[in-house]
Amino acid sequence: MLTKILTAALLVVFFAVMIGIGLYCRKHSTDVNGFVLGGRSVGPWLTAFAFGTSYFSAVVFVGYAGQFGWNFGLASTWIGLGNAFVGSLLAWVILGRRTRIMTQQIESKTMPDFFGKRFESEGLKIAASVIVFVFLIPYTASLYNGLSSLFNIAFDIPYWVVIVIMALLTGLYVIFGGYMATAINDFVQGIIMLVGIIVVIGAVLADNGGLGAAIAELSQKTAESNPDLNGAFASFLGPQPMFLLIVVLLTSLGTWGLPQMVGKFYSIKNEDAIKKGTIISTVFAIVVSGGCYFLGAFARLYEGNEALRYAGGKLVFDSVIPAMLSNLSPVIIAVVMVLVLSASMSTLSSLVLTSSSTLTLDLIVPAMKKEPAEKKKLLILRMFVMVFIVISAVIAILKDTYNFSAIAQMMGVSWGALAGSFLAPFLYGLYWKRTTKASVVASFVFGSVLMLCQMLISLGAFSVAEIPVLSFVFTNSLYSGVVAMIGGLVIVPVVSLITPKMDKKRVDAMFSCYDNDVTVKTTKSLGN
């Protein structure tokens, strides 16, 4: 009873703050630039937290932390560190500044719009928009995964009710305040995530006698249950180092090609904000992602827990983290509820804003005979925010109710398809003048087709088991996702070198933004 009261009280306060921020930010959303990019004037703290909270959702805390913690043990912490140093630090260092400058130079507001203007091709913009639409919807629906398992600890309410409440409240503050409301809410939600993960780790370790005792028990327990592993779940690289590397690559390098992640660099304020944001984002990722996977590392200490669920004789990984938390104090459980909702709502708001802006600005508005006024564009944008939230909520409810395996498989390939299609052409497009339109087409086709094949193979449409190389590539969506990304990094330069160059004067004009001289007053330059 106490758990219900505390959780309900915290949730009411949390929801009130989210809606209040949305209403407060209406003044920043009076035009398309403000609604989608926050006027390109967002500071380092808001941008860094928006990047981090979009990166780490409930899928990481509930699903991945439980699954990979169970499979790899303490070595799963490497995934969190990879997310911090490759997915955050290197992404900011390599992409941050050039993305901000180039997108302003060519007046691009979305990733598909970048491809269209950078490579002077309306077809590329449309193709990228279709890929975003097809693969972001199921990815958005996956954010609700695991919520039912956690909420069943505190409340005995149907899963669909949780989905509807979360979707409705997220939709309200995004529709009211646009990107600025999302960024400020991400900051608040990020603080909750930071505090929450530290508190939960401390509680779980205390429940197992402290860090040293927990590690010793983990080593002994795995040695007893499977002598062949000989305590591998407490070792440096775990029982499956190769698979661990694949997971680190997909979850870390993949952020470089995700439109909802790269889009954060479009809106950052200035050079100084990029430098500060790099540090803030990296520290945030170390604590949140590293903390999530470190927590999941102790999952096997809860073998035999009644809260663990099995389907077809196999463990349901979404039940692992809830099982670890089930016997903790009501206060901790209440904090976890708000933590998970924060993680889910922050990522959901980023995804629906990305999806709606892409569909509106890159497909709907260009298809109109007459350029609509700003107010009409804003109305269409807000309408599609709600459309995307409704679609994702319906998919999540249908998946839970009818256990549609096709939807589950689609969710698994979404990340790989988006990153595999966009990472290479976006990266090369920022740095290399020789990148061609044909190479971008090749990357789009390779990434999206490869991951669609993965989905069909997973569903049993056909098999490649007799072909060793393909059998390895399509082991699961993690393997094929990494192949899609690395393949794109090879395909783009090779195709660019054998296909016609773009117009040199136009490309030089685009890249001139990196060589502009900036004059400042003496007072501004002192100390630099």
Which residues are 42's β-sheet partners?
A: 268
The label of the residue with tokens 């960024």 reads 183
Q: Which amino acid is at 344?
A: S
Q: What is the pLDDT of residues 1-36, one digit of tens each?
A: 676 788 788 888 888 888 888 888 887 777 888 888
The CB density around residue 373, as the number of other CB atoms within 10 Å, is 9
* Separation CA 68–CA 72 (nearest Å): 6
The label of the residue with tokens 């990340």 reads 415
* Mean pLDDT confidence for 304-326: 80
Pull the structure tokens for residue 210: 């402290």
Q: What is the pLDDT of residues 118-155, one digit of tens each?
A: 999 999 999 999 999 888 887 887 777 656 666 666 66
* Separation CA 44–CA 438 (nearest Å): 36
* Separation CA 425–CA 433 (nearest Å): 11
Q: What is the pLDDT of residues 370-429, one digit of tens each?
A: 888 888 888 888 898 898 888 888 888 887 777 665 655 666 788 889 999 999 999 999
Domains and CATH numbers, the chain: 2-114+178-347 (1.20.1730.10), 404-512 (no CATH)
Question: How long a stretch of residues is the chain?
Answer: 528
Please say whether the beta carbons of 439 and 503 come within 8 A.
no
- Out of 234-238, 426-430, 500-504, 509-513, least confident range: 234-238
Which residues are 268's β-sheet partners?
A: 42
Please say whether the beta carbons of 251 and 244 come within 8 A.
no
- How much is the pLDDT for 317? 78
End-to-end CA distance of the chain: 58
Please say whether the beta carbons of 197 and 292 come within 8 A.
yes
Percentage of residues in the chain having pLDDT higher than 70: 91
- Out of 119-133, 179-193, 304-318, least confident range: 304-318
* Mean pLDDT confidence for 199-212: 90
* Separation CA 260–CA 111 (nearest Å): 9
Collapse the DSSP code of 81 into the 3-class scheme (helix H, G, I; strand E, B; otherwise coil) and give the result: helix
Q: What is the pLDDT of residues 425-455, one digit of tens each?
A: 999 999 999 999 999 999 999 999 999 999 8
Across the chain, mean pLDDT equals: 85
* Separation CA 165–CA 176 (nearest Å): 17
Percentage of residues in the chain having pLDDT higher than 90: 31
Pull the structure tokens for residue 1: 């009873």
* Separation CA 239–CA 280 (nearest Å): 33
Using the predicted structure, report yes or no on whether residue 515 has a pLDDT greater than 90.
no
- How much is the pLDDT for 63? 77
Using the predicted structure, report yes or no on whether residue 223 has a pLDDT greater than 70.
no
* Mean pLDDT confidence for 272-281: 92
The label of the residue with tokens 């490869």 reads 450
- Residue 507: C-alpha distances to residues 14, 117, 432, 497 (Å): 48, 11, 10, 16
* Mean pLDDT confidence for 183-199: 88
Q: What is the pLDDT of residues 461-497, one digit of tens each?
A: 888 888 888 888 888 888 899 999 999 999 999 999 9
Q: What is the pLDDT of residues 69-98, one digit of tens each?
A: 888 889 999 999 999 999 999 999 999 999
Q: Report phi then psi at 310, rounded to 5.
A: -130, 145
In terms of Cα–Cα distance, which of 119, 118, 86, 122 is closest to 101?
118
Using the predicted structure, report yes or no on whether residue 350 has a pLDDT greater than 50.
yes
In terms of Cα–Cα distance, which of 441, 313, 311, 337 is closest to 321?
337
- How much is the pLDDT for 525? 45
Pull the structure tokens for residue 126: 């449309």
